[in-house]
Amino acid sequence: MSEKNSYLVFSGTRSRYLAEKICSSLGCPLGNLVVTRFSDGEFAVSYEESIRGRDVFLVQSTFPNSDNLMELLLMIDAAKRASARQIIAVIPYFGWARQDRKDKPRVSIGAKLVADLLRVAGIDRLITMDLHADQIQGFFNVPVDHLYASGVILPYLQGLHLKDLVIASPDVGGSKRANTYAKYLGCPLVLCNKTRARANEIESMQIIGDVKGKNVVIIDDMVDTAGTITKAADIMMEAGALSVRACASHCVMSGPANDRVEKSALEEMVFTDSIPYTQRCSKVVQLSVAGIIAETIRRVVNNESISSQYLI
């Protein structure tokens, strides 16, 4: 069996746009899968071609609503029952990742629950990108290929040729990620120290470091309501920054996020296409990670090293 005949790529409903790009990079057709929906909201999936003895790659980000996760679980179950040789879930955006620990009494750990659901459904491997917390990899008992959006974001930043560059983290929790970018680009690091009144609501924020006369790039893993990013940008401009940009792996952009970004001091907001973005915002730039994911799939099929393709 040739390399191209040994595996098939299928997609869930909401990630088809990305799966098509991945297949284009791989030079293979997207597999034929049908999702049948009933009037009460229930749905079923079926493969319209034989997958017996094949490695099956299932592309589906699990962003809200929960139908995306349920659709992926059904795809995994159907592939297992159709005698697929290996089932590899390709989840560019791993939903529920912010629930990675008990941060107060009597709460769920959603990331672990999702990991258990995927395991019970029958995955043999997971390919994902920029998890909210690296330790989520330990929730799985199967190999996890953890990719980084830096593979497309860093070349973009280098192409801007910004002078007096400073990398910033919007909170202390993201300092490790931002510091990695700063080291690679050979520039200083600035931190934002924030306190929250409640989820998605910032109480106060202070800048730790000097941004005066600098071009600042804020690095984060996701932007949800854009409250943190836009507030940080406004404070940095008030502190004398020449310009402020933001780069994030996942474009959640819920609620008032679009208006906040548009009205903020941000020069531009750079995302990957791990999540579909259908809104209109003149400041949003999307970079595709299809090439990175396609190369990872190729290397998994050929049992080649994946770590060698990481920039950082």
Q: Which residues are catalytic?
A: 194
What is the DSSP code (8-state) at residue 30? P
The alpha carbon torsion through 130, 136, 139, 141 (nearest 10 deg) reads: 40
Question: Please, are residues 136 and 111 in contact by the beta-carbon 8 Å criterion?
Answer: yes
Backbone angles phi, psi at 183, to 5 degrees: -65, -45
Number of Cβ within a 10 Å radius of residue 169: 25
Question: Please, are residues 283 and 259 in contact by the beta-carbon 8 Å criterion?
Answer: no
3-class state of residue 185 by DSSP = helix
The bridge status of strand 86-91 relative to strand 125-129 is parallel
Q: Which CA distances in Å does 29 have to 8, 44, 53, 112, 158?
A: 8, 22, 18, 33, 33
